[in-house]
Amino acid sequence: MSLKEQVVASFENTFGHQPDGVWSAPGRANLIGEHTDYNLGFVLPFGINFRTYVAVAKRADRKCRVASTIDSKIYEFDLDGEMPKNLDWALYPLGVAWVMRENADFGFDAFFDSNVPIGAGLSSSAAIECSIALALNEIWNTNHTKQELALIGQKAENQVVGAPTGMMDQTASMLAQSDGAVLLDCKKLETKVIDLGLTKNNLVIAVIDTKVAHRHSDGGYRSRRDSCELGAKTLGVESLRELSLSDLPRAQSQLDDLTYRRVKHIITENQRVLDSVSALRDGNLESLGRLLLESHSSMRDDFEISVPELDLAVETAMEVGAIGSRMTGGGFGGAAIALIAESKLGELEIACKKAFEANSYAEPNIFAVVPSEGARKDS
């Protein structure tokens, strides 16, 4: 039974009637460009071939009810009431409904099922938000564009969940295309699909899930964003996007060491995204690999969001022969990615598990991801 068929069956078992339709959205991996989105910079994510499916049906009243395979509970809120607290994972879909509620004349039942790994830095939350946003956009006839729906997902995560994230995850999940990455200009909200050329080079993007779970709503993410905002204010710009490499000496002279290193990461990471796009267009894999490693070093040393397990994953991938490797996602756990020959994937898995065991870390999960299409209606 496919995941789509499973979500329909689970919906019927849970709510006792048939859904009106099924929608889905992918998780995402970020090739490069970390923490640059909320600084209005550049990011280069892609959708992955792991998706979240949601079966949805209209209700006659104004109750919004959601359930999933995560637990056995049904969570709900009324469109005319306040958003309840302590909803666990259900804050993500109900948060989207809360943001979109102005145009809602009726409630809904929704059941979610997913194969996007949770806590691995692959945006399982954005996949939930984007799948339900696309569904509600249709049943409530709100006529939002996919880019607008991505911003609604971000708003829900910021205001309801309390995670101070940027727009990258939702934009990637909404707008991703097969075989390409999405270059997103977070200031202009412009996107371009960049061909990754993996197939013709017999390459895969391997994910090394360290099994170190992270939560964006925890303080580490918030403090990094605060440092970026302080840096921008001190340097007299609206966002760090306005700064370039030539501004680093001035930044170092005007900022304390910690704030400078946070700002330095954002400025250099923005440039690395643009340089990575150039490398991909030129077919310069050596340059791309170097940029991925430089990105990881910056996140480890300047932004300080890596953990020993992520550093070991990157180190092991390079020893096996990866072209490049870096942690991906918000940090403090999650996964690393490695650009590597498809023939070396098995060797990478063996080496990572051996290295993690030698350091008494939990066994990692290693798998390849394929750049895949964004949110869609499936039936």
Domain harbouring 182, CATH code: 3.30.230.10
The answer to whether residue 139 sits within a structural domain is yes
Domain-ending residue, one of 194, 228, 250: 194
Distances (CA, A) of 280 to 116, 183, 333: 27, 12, 28
- Domain of 35, in residue numbers: 3-194
Q: Is the pLDDT of residue 215 over 70?
A: no
How many domains does one find in the chain?
2
Residue among 43, 65, 22 at smallest CA distance from 154: 43
Question: Are residues 175 and 220 both part of a single domain?
Answer: no
Q: What is the CATH number of the domain that holds 229?
A: 3.30.70.890
Distances (CA, A) of 19 to 97, 111, 326: 17, 9, 41
Question: Are residues 155 and 298 both part of a single domain?
Answer: no
Residue among 202, 199, 172, 266 at smallest CA distance from 228: 266
The answer to whether residue 376 sits within a structural domain is no
Mean pLDDT, all residues of the chain: 95
When pLDDT is averaged across residues 122-149 and rounded to a whole number, the result is: 96
Enter the DSSP assignment of 362: P
How many Å apart are CA 377 and CA 215, to the nearest integer? 29
The answer to whether residue 91 sits within a structural domain is yes
Owner of token pair 């990461």: 265
Question: Are residues 89 and 215 both part of a single domain?
Answer: no
Question: Are residues 284 and 182 both part of a single domain?
Answer: no
- pLDDT for 50 equals 96
Question: Are residues 33 and 144 both part of a single domain?
Answer: yes
Count of CB atoms situated within 10 Å of the CB of 88: 10
Owner of token pair 């990105």: 295
pTM score of the predicted model: 0.89
How many Å apart are CA 365 and CA 349, to the nearest integer? 8
The answer to whether residue 328 sits within a structural domain is yes
pLDDT bin (cut points 50, 70, 90) of residue 219 is: confident
- pLDDT for 218 equals 60
- pLDDT for 205 equals 96
How many Å apart are CA 176 and CA 126, to the nearest integer? 13
When pLDDT is averaged across residues 22-28 and rounded to a whole number, the result is: 97
The answer to whether residue 95 sits within a structural domain is yes
Enter the DSSP assignment of 96: H
The answer to whether residue 374 sits within a structural domain is no
**What residues contact 123, with CB distance under 8 A and at least 6 apart?**
27, 28, 116, 169, 172, 173, 329
**74-130 per-position pLDDT tens digit:** 999 999 998 888 899 999 999 999 999 998 999 999 999 999 988 777 889 999 999
How many Å apart are CA 303 and CA 324, to the nearest integer? 19
Residue numbers annotated as active site = 169
**45-62 per-position pLDDT tens digit:** 999 999 999 999 999 999
Domain-ending residue, one of 171, 194, 217: 194
How many Å apart are CA 379 and CA 362, to the nearest integer? 39
Question: Are residues 157 and 212 both part of a single domain?
Answer: no
Question: Are residues 11 and 155 both part of a single domain?
Answer: yes
**Token pair belonging to 340:** 């590597």
pLDDT bin (cut points 50, 70, 90) of residue 221 is: confident
